[in-house]
Amino acid sequence: MASEAQALQVELVAADRTVWSGSASMVIARTVEGDVGVLRGHAPMLSALTDAVVEINDEDGDVVVAAVDGGFLSVAGDRISILSQHAVLAEEIDPADVRAELEEAQGILSIRPDEAELRIRRAEARLRAVEKATAKAR
């Protein structure tokens, strides 16, 4: 277990709430430039996130999995801020609801392609978050 002084301080924040906050040993996120893993001592950076999964390895060795609808990742002095308009922890996601949303979005693909593609990307990210969290729990 990493001591607090040796751990990353992480905040995952949505527009309406702090989704997760605490100490971690590593964060993995998907930016517009590709996947990035952040450990202690990482160079400062600011990057745009895609609609994807974020993994936070907390200091107890557990993995916190969340889905974000884009946003930003900021790293400065072993502090990581993940900011997104909408972010949700994997355990808060109902896969049946997400599958229904995915089917609905696929149904409007030919009518409103831009809206449908955005909704499909976000639903797929949520399903990946649930799958990753389930796999990590085994």
Domain ranges of the chain: 4-90, 91-137
How does 85-122 read in b/e, with b if 16+ C-beta sit within 10 Å? Answer: eebbbbeebeeeebeebbeebeeeeeeeeeebeebbbb
Q: Which residues pair with 79 in a beta bridge?
A: 9, 76
Q: Are 120 and 50 in contact (CB under 8 A)?
A: no
Average pLDDT, 10 consecutive residues per value, the chain (138 residues):
72 98 97 96 97 96 96 97 98 97 94 95 96 85
CATH architecture of the domain with range 4-90: Sandwich (2.60)
The pLDDT value given to residue 5: 60
pLDDT for 137: 73
State the pLDDT at residue 86: 97
- pLDDT value, residue 136: 76
Name the DSSP letter for residue 108: T
